[in-house]
Structure 1
Amino acid sequence: MNGPSLALRQRSLGDPSADFPLFPPLTRGCPKTSTAELAYPLEVVYDYAKVDRGLFAQHPGPDLARWSPLLPPLDAPTLGEGGTPLVEFGEVHIKDESRNPTWSHKDRLNRVAVSAAVACGAPGVVVASSGNHGASAAAYAARAGLPAIVLTSAASPPAAQAFVRAYGAKVVSVPVEARWPLLREVVERLGYHPVSNQTVTHTGHPFGAEGYKTIAYELFLQLGEVPAAVFTPTGYAELLYGVWKGFTELRLLGLTEKAPRMFSCETAAGGPHAKALAAGVPATVVDLGPTDAYGLAGSAGGYRGVVAVRDSGGEAMLLTDEEMRRAQHDLARQGLWQELSGAAGLAGYRRLRRDFDGPVVCVATSSGFKDAGLGGGRHPVIENPTLDDLIR
């Protein structure tokens, strides 16, 4: 039922008539439609006529290979990504992506992106990341037998850096503004395969968002229907767009007649996608203010997020750290511990305060173990404890 990839080629989101061979992945945006001020991402086109609809009769367990016809070739071994639970939480459902192998949604992206590195014969993988993406890329590179270089900022959580190093990656802390020029030099001089953005507005890896489509496939099977709305934590919007594309494919394949409204949930300290949508432009770059939601703290937006929100009839939500903390606290009290950024989907739903005609899904992206400042204190030790001490 699964079978080989039906991926055909890459094409520009800026102009679908601008298409390119499937390999090599164009990791610096579309060379035909991009400008010095605006980079258009690419997406992958498939031979949808050959897709066996029985693909969607299977149980959505781990390993993205179950969706291989609708993904680029998966040449990197699996770590058991995907198949994450959908948990009822009051009036919404939580798609808990912290259950992935490295405890975040990034594992779906990196199974696909590291597969591209293997297929291209790259000598290694390089990524600029302060958290989830770096850990995930390091893990999948290690599984594929490739070295990894992770360029991080000095302000990234020590626990996150230790997590990356555990997989054998070379972690280098540099000033934030130096990460991308250095990444480009690693690509050009060492031939490493990049799984991070290299353009003025965000494009990222052209295969990356394809991995996130599988969340839509799983939600369709887990709910038995298409949700009315999906709220996703949004930094660069690869997750947001990937989920949206997955639902548009379900409609294209004739499995459903509708798609959900997509809501981007960004930190109010930045919010490039909200700004682009308000201005009616394809993408923007904003000044970034202080926030503890470092997973969402990006100044460069991308066209993917604009497409997903605009074409689905959704909205862009801007959230304070306090709104995310309340959502984080409430999730943890129900057994779902997320890092601050990972709680943005629920915080966005609560801020909107709107009823929907159908199920609502809030994607929760990453374990609370990834939070900034974690483990910064010790609790007092009670000497010679008694039951009265315990009760107190």
Structure 2
Amino acid sequence: MTPSDTALRSLAIAQRSLADPSVRHPLWPPLTAGCPATSTDEVAYPLDIDYAYDEVPDDLFTRPAAHGLDRWAPLLPPLAAPGLGEGNTPMVALPDGVWVKDESRNPTWSHKDRLNRVAVSAALASGARGIVVSSSGNHGAAAAAYAARAGLPCAVFTSPYAPPAVASHLRAYGATVLTVPYESVRPLMRRIVDELGFQAVSSVTDTAHTGHPFGPEGYKTLAYEVALDLGRAPAAVHLPTGYGELLFGVAKGFQELARLGVTDSVPRMYATEPAAAGALTEALRTGRPTARVPVGPTLAYAIDCEINSYRGVVAVRATGGAARTVTDEQMTAARAELASQGLWCETSAAAGLAGLRAHGPQETDGPVVCVVTSSGYKDVATAGETYEPTAPDWPSIRSALTAARAD
């Protein structure tokens, strides 16, 4: 096949249930409350997107790298909303050869920009009057930015205990910031959808996390970039995991690359959760599609989820990977290791590397990639410390520099 109008045209053709991929629905409207045919009273099953893979342009994976998801338009749902130059983030090698995919270089400093370019496009294309999202930080900031770019109102439910910079970040884009008790969020989101015509770009279901069916497609592009940068699929990818949408999207991206003959393997996907939660780890341990767990205090506030999405179960099982948990101390150590190499991330974002360092495995059959999801600006403790001014005399300056070298 030669390049044609498919170069910028979506080849998405249908939504299908992850519980039973033979159950298909039209591409529009996005089914944000899960699959109506396969969901049960116990589990709301999310939807996946299918494509006309036989129409993918032959040169799709040989075109020059570029910022913006438009580069991958054939393998994404329609990109109706304008972008902000998301994606094409760097790969940085650590001294031991582990590769870090640094998603903090996205426009709002996190991986969530990839999801929101796609999800906000879906809201715009389907005639939504606005978007609504529940988020502790990264997702809300990205949703607000892409909604502003698309000219859509944005309502963000967030915790009153989120980092101080979060509310300022959200309001800078013109979002309406709503802080209500956690148990009120999803009922209120559903009313905003039903009564005001907004579209939810985060989950509105109570029995499991379903999320927006189009959103995780944006994460596939991370896999495309990694494979092109390495010249092959890695042996393993380690990711911070909350609800598992990033995990699922990256796994699907690598599966598509293998299906299209771009790579000859699919990496093992390793999900890392905070020990204070660990819903996906529990679901896989017990053989259930979802699990609900108590959530304890943790610095990894961005991924401390009480219930998992079935997407994560699918990704781990399909790739032969695993889900593991790490402590705050292990994430803090990984964060410090990254900072020592010039990469500053929030504690949650270091979970993938923490999982590799704590649990392995030490792969011998190819490169290993750890995804760092967001900037250190997003952390709870950022800008919370105060420091004494340095005395303007040489002994004090010399002492400070000597102490720094000793550290």
Match of 1:134 in 2: 140
Q: 1:239-254 maps to which residues of 2 (within 5 A)?
A: 239-254=246-261
Q: 1:5-44 maps to which residues of 2 (within 5 A)?
A: 5-44=10-49
Aligned length: 391
Describe the SS at the equivalent of 1:174.
Answer: coil
Q: Distance in 1 between matches of 2:163 and 2:70?
A: 32
Q: 1:1-392 maps to which residues of 2 (within 5 A)?
A: 1=3, 2-89=7-94, 90-199=96-205, 200-356=207-363, 357-383=365-391, 385-392=392-399
Describe the SS at the equivalent of 2:316.
Answer: helix
Describe the SS at the equivalent of 2:21.
Answer: coil
Please, which runs of 5 or more residues in structure 1 have no aligned partner? none
Q: Distance in 2 between matches of 1:307 and 1:353?
A: 21
User: How far apart are residue 185 of structure 1 and its match?
Assistant: 1.1
Letter matched to residue 355 of structure 2: G
Letter matched to residue 17 of structure 1: S
Letter matched to residue 340 of structure 1: T
Do the aligned residues in 2 keep the contact of 1:134 with 1:164 (CA within 8 Å)? yes
User: How far apart are residue 373 of structure 1 and its match?
Assistant: 2.4
User: How far apart are residue 106 of structure 1 and its match?
Assistant: 0.0
Q: Distance in 2 between matches of 1:387 and 1:333?
A: 27
Letter matched to residue 181 of structure 1: P
Instruction: Please give the per-residue CA displacement for 1:25-53, whole angstroms capped at 9, x wherever unaligned.
Output: 00000000001110111010000000013
User: How far apart are residue 160 of structure 1 and its match?
Assistant: 1.3
Letter matched to residue 5 of structure 1: S
Q: Distance in 1 between matches of 2:201 and 2:328?
A: 28
Do the aligned residues in 1 keep the contact of 2:14 with 2:25 (CA within 8 Å)? yes
Runs of 4+ residues deviating >6 angstroms: none
Q: Distance in 2 between matches of 1:259 and 1:183?
A: 37
Q: Distance in 2 between matches of 1:171 and 1:79?
A: 22
Instruction: Please give the per-residue CA displacement for 1:10-38, whole angstroms capped at 9, x wherever unaligned.
Output: 00000111110001000000000001110
User: How far apart are residue 341 of structure 1 and its match?
Assistant: 0.4
Structure-2-length-normalised TM-score: 0.95
Q: Distance in 2 between matches of 1:58 and 1:215?
A: 16
Structure-1-length-normalised TM-score: 0.98
User: How far apart are residue 187 of structure 1 and its match?
Assistant: 0.7
Do the aligned residues in 1 keep the contact of 2:10 with 2:78 (CA within 8 Å)? yes
User: How far apart are residue 340 of structure 1 and its match?
Assistant: 0.4
Do the aligned residues in 2 keep the contact of 1:53 with 1:253 (CA within 8 Å)? no
Computed over aligned residues only, the root mean square deviation of the Cα atoms, in angstroms, reads: 1.0
User: How far apart are residue 299 of structure 1 and its match?
Assistant: 0.5
Q: Distance in 2 between matches of 1:365 and 1:353?
A: 20
Q: Distance in 2 between matches of 1:358 and 1:311?
A: 19
Q: Distance in 2 between matches of 1:51 and 1:3?
A: 11
% identical aligned pairs: 57
User: How far apart are residue 232 of structure 1 and its match?
Assistant: 0.6
